[in-house]
Amino acid sequence: MKDNTPINGNDLLALGYPQTELLGIALKANKKRTGLTKVEMLAHYKMVLDNAEDYVNHKVFGKLATAIVEGVGLRIEEDIIPLKEEAVTYSIYGADHIEEGAIKQMQVAVKLPVAVTGALMPDAHQGYGLPIGGVLATENAVIPYGVGVDIGCRMALSIFDIKGVEFYGMEGLLKEQLVKHTKFGAGQGFQGQYKTQHDILDRGEFNLNPFIKNLQDKAWEQLGSSGGGNHFVEWGLMEFMERDEVLNIDKGTYLALLTHSGSRGMGATIAGRYTQIAKDICKLPYEAKNLAYLDLDSEAGQEYWAMMNLAGDYASACHEVIHDKLTKAIGAEVLAKIENHHNFAWKEMYQGKEVIVHRKGATPASKGVMGIIPGSMTAPGFLVRGKGEEEALNSASHGAGRQMSRTQAIKNLKAADIKAVLSDHGVELIGAGKDEAPMAYKDIHQVMAAQGDLVDVVAMFTPKIVRMADDGSRED
């Protein structure tokens, strides 16, 4: 029986391959592997490294050999900014259920020259640069990939004056209005009379430079729409086990609307541009290249900071439009509305000093601050109140977190099994791809148990009618 064990970066590092872009090129050669065992492949890898000229025309190793001959990843750039030899300290919550890749990414992040401290939330999984569920405090620097591609991605919750028992007579109306007033997925937006006017479109930051000005029309078109991937708009039941004095809501179950989305194409375009600018200015070692940062005193840093804040407020406006439309459509009164960013950077105080706190897929949880932590389409979400835990940089998880990559979910999960799980939980799903199946996510109860020191649970949300992008598509 052939040994099809995958070859990883550590295998190649052990052979003498440098931790540069050459490592990525080398790993791609493994995808063309046909009939060779791991031992045989590694033997070839070693010979290519030692005698690249002999392999330039090889069908499997040709590209790798050519890259070596051309010196790709072998030349040491003089302007590379070295990482710290000693990492700054960081805290991990729920370490037993966090994948190794996310921990390794965090270990690189806390060696950045600008790193002050960090924390890893229990829903953490591997991302680009900073892991999703990673929190990092830096000194006067912002990392575009520490914020994330979907700048200002956030949760918004409206709790209505409609008792839970009334939901079961309203399902038809709720579904109809949900479909009528929402749009999802890459490139989706509103045209003509269906566009919404909002003060966000008059913000002065749109005149900052031609780049952001050119995004204004697209922002108007997409205002009030939702992204692809894991973004959703859903009706559900919010249960308070006891009266909450701060919200002035009595014990009981209420109809609620929960939304998850970000700054759409505008945010993604800003992220792409300023990540590249950061990489051009701030050249870090290969393993840290996606953590390139901008000095906040620089022109590019100030531009990004202004645009990040604009994108965050735009994301909030998108949720406001959705909630206003649906509240009006069902003729309800809002008892309370709560929202929070979870892909953003804030200026905060840490041990008496101002730092830039990046929360990439993490919920702000300063003392008394409210947030929403969703589970999956069949698992409960939680309305929480922060405890202000300094070691966690006043943060909590932003959800259950993935236990299965999108590719794994699409490849391994069956539509019939997903349908059965939804039926068992009494959830009606409109849209979504297999990559958003409930089974792709960690156990939300396990995640919540790991962050008891970070937040108090105020109420529990149970999804009932869920809408997502029809094709499971990603952001623009």
Could you list the residues known to form a binding site for Mn(2+), using ranges.
150, 231, 260, 342
Q: DSSP per residue over 188-209, as a string?
A: ----GGG----GGGG-GGGGS-
Structure-token pair, residue 426: 């009494």
Please, how many CA atoms are within 13 Å of residue 130, restricted to the half-sphere of its CB? 35
Q: Identify the burial level of 71 via C-beta atoms within 10 angstroms of its C-beta, where 0-12 means exposed, 13-18 middle and 19 or more buried.
A: exposed
Give the β-pairing of 370-373 and 362-364. Answer: unpaired
Instruction: Return d(Cα 222, Cα 157) in angstroms, integer.
Output: 20
Q: Is 398 a catalytic residue?
A: yes
Instruction: Return d(Cα 163, Cα 254) in angstroms, integer.
Output: 4
Q: Please name the helix (run of DSSP H) or strand (run of DSSP E) that holds residue 54, with its range, or none.
A: none
Q: Which amino acid is at 391?
A: E
Which residues are part of a known binding site?
Answer: 150, 230-234, 260, 342-343, 374-377, 398-401
How many CB atoms sit inside 10 A of residue 180's CB? 10
Structure-token pair, residue 375: 């589970």
| CB-based contact 365:336 (threshold 8 Å) | no
Instruction: Return d(Cα 365, Cα 373) in angstroms, integer.
Output: 11
Give phi and psi for 135, each to the nearest 5.
Answer: -125, 130
| CB-based contact 153:125 (threshold 8 Å) | no
Structure-token pair, residue 17: 């391959």
**3-state secondary structure string, 75-126?**
CCCCCCCCCCCCCCCEEECCHHHCCHHHHHHHHHHCCCCCEEEEEEEEEEEC
Q: Which residue reads 């829903």 in tokens?
A: 123
Instruction: Return d(Cα 47, Cα 3) in angstroms, integer.
Output: 20
What CA–CA distances, in Å, run from 30 to 1, 12, 37, 45, 312? Answer: 19, 11, 11, 10, 41
Q: Which of 319, 398, 425, 445 is catalytic?
A: 398
As a dihedral over the C-alpha atoms of residue 222, residue 228, residue 234, residue 239, rounded to 10 degrees, the angle is -120
Q: DSSP per residue over 397-445, as a string?
A: ESSS-BSS-HHHHHHH--HHHHHHHHHHTT-EEES--GGG-GGGB--HH
Indicate if the alpha-carbon torsion angle 312, 318, 324, 327 is positive or negative. negative
Active site residues: 398
